Amino acid sequence: MNEIIEFLTLYKMESIILSFGIIILAFVITHWQEVKFWWLNLLYNLPIIGNVSGLAKDIEGFDENHKWFYSEERLCRDYYNFYEKVDKDSESFDEAKAYLHSVGELGRKPTPTFIWVMIFVLVIVEAFGFAYVLAGFTIPGASEATQQKGAVGVAAMLAILLVWLTHMTGQELHKNTLIQKIRRWYKNDNAGGTNWRDLKPDDQLISIDNTFDDEKSPNYIRMLNRVDANDKVKTTYTKTILTLIFIFAVAIGATYIRHQVLTQEIASSHESAMNIFNDDASPFGGADSGAEDDIASLFGDTATDNAEDDLSSLFGEDVSKETQTSANDKESIEDETNRKGGEATFVILGLMFVFIQILGIFFGMHWDFAGRESKEAFECLKGFSTKKAFLAYYERAKTHIARVAQRQLQKLQHKMNIINDNSGTDAETTAILRNNKDRTFKQYLTFEDR
């Protein structure tokens, strides 16, 4: 953990930017429609290069059927794509609720924003943990900075891939629970051999709009009509098996690499200690050859031998060997302690990694949907349990989009009149441009809905 903290401290700015980007990404995922509408308004409001400025230049294209300019229709159509998604009535409420009830997912919700943020935070921690382990092995021979950047890239790819796999595995397991329920109900319903029929969906494709068309079918058939099952209507565990294999492969591989790094660090520290000991072991402070040459030149070769004998008689001839043996024994005990502690830490880190992946699978099982249009049905309901609250919400949403669209349409028509006045066109076009009181977004809805 200390290594990860040091890594984050070293790349503080990169970590902050990545974390901020992850939070924004989680918000975009969970509020996609709102983000798309905001982006549409931005594109239309940009000065000079915005959509309003671009469409205003087309004052010649005219739809004779509707008596609208093509640029006006284009703008209204862009906003109508959002308006129709919130154009809901009491029947829409009943259809969405009935669809979720039939598929057995009434009460389920998509993955919340805070869960996505937590998942991505865990991904960041995983990525930096992997990066620290892989730093010396990703690009052999490269500089340390290049190796660290390469390790971050590989680690981030692994972490994101694991998030995707675990989430898909959770969804597969949730879908399997629905299929198991279908088979159990089918078996119980036909246990006596009466009312026997093949376990297969109806020929008619069931969606939210026609969800009441299979009311007379058994509950398990209604559920099967809304779930994509195989021809045998049996559970499948392909994604689960592949994900588990990948998880354990990464866990074992990371543990093995950590072990190799620890062994390398122990060997390096042992080698450094031996070098220091050898440098300090000389009786003349590391200049033993020069000192011996000086003695030999002054007193002859015998003097050197006598000096060594004197030192041996003074300190004991085995003092250096005993000191080195004691240091080696101390180092071996220390190495063994470090190795055992490191291996225990690696086991804990491996278990934590596996647990994080299991947590991702659990999130996939607990949130999101298996029905073909369950997500659309939930987004339609918006979590409202009463029809009154449902209708009030969508009335406000429709009013808001219609007002924004009308403001943009008025801006477009104003710019078109300015361009027409500056360039000059025929009298008929000028009259049509100025007489725009009937070309409103509300009027556009009347012939768009027909």
Whether 171 contacts 364, CB under 8 Å: yes
Share of the chain above pLDDT 70, in %: 70
The separation between the first and the last C-alpha atoms of the chain, rounded to the nearest angstrom, is 64
Query: With 50 as the cut, is the pLDDT of residue 311 above it?
Result: no
* Residue 293 within a domain: no
Residue 48: strand, helix, or coil: coil
* Residue 312 within a domain: no
Cα-based angle 287, 292, 297 (whole degrees, multiple of 5): 130
Q: 412: pLDDT confidence band, cut at 50, 70 and 90?
A: very high
* Residue 36 within a domain: no
* Residue 305 within a domain: no
- Residues 106-161: pLDDT tens digits? 888 888 878 877 877 777 677 666 666 665 565 555 566 666 666 667 777 777 78
- Residues 320-355: pLDDT tens digits? 555 555 545 555 676 666 666 767 777 777 787 888
CA 77 from centroid of its chain's CA atoms: 33
pLDDT of residue 405: 95
For residue 166, the tally of other CB atoms under 10 A from its CB is 26
| Residue for token pair 């556009």 | 444
**Nearest C-alpha neighbor of 74 from the set 45, 54, 88:** 54
Joined together, the tokens standing for residue 387 give: 């029809």
* Residue 363 within a domain: no
**Structural domain boundaries enclosing 83:** 2-27+55-189+197-237+371-448
What does the alpha-carbon distance between residue 135 and residue 153 come to, in Å, rounded to a whole number?
10
What does the alpha-carbon distance between residue 100 and residue 107 come to, in Å, rounded to a whole number?
8
pLDDT of residue 102: 93
What does the alpha-carbon distance between residue 447 and residue 382 come to, in Å, rounded to a whole number?
28
Amino acid at 339: R
Residues 6+ apart with CB under 8 A from 211: 95, 98, 99, 102
Query: With 60 as the cut, is the pLDDT of residue 182 above it?
Result: yes
Whether 258 contacts 347, CB under 8 Å: no
Task: Out of 82-96, 155-169, 369-383, pick the least confident.
Answer: 155-169
Total structural domains in the chain?
Answer: 1
pLDDT of residue 392: 93
* Residue 89 within a domain: yes
* Residue 149 within a domain: yes
- Cβ-in-10-Å burial (0-12, 13-18, 19+) of 1 comes to exposed
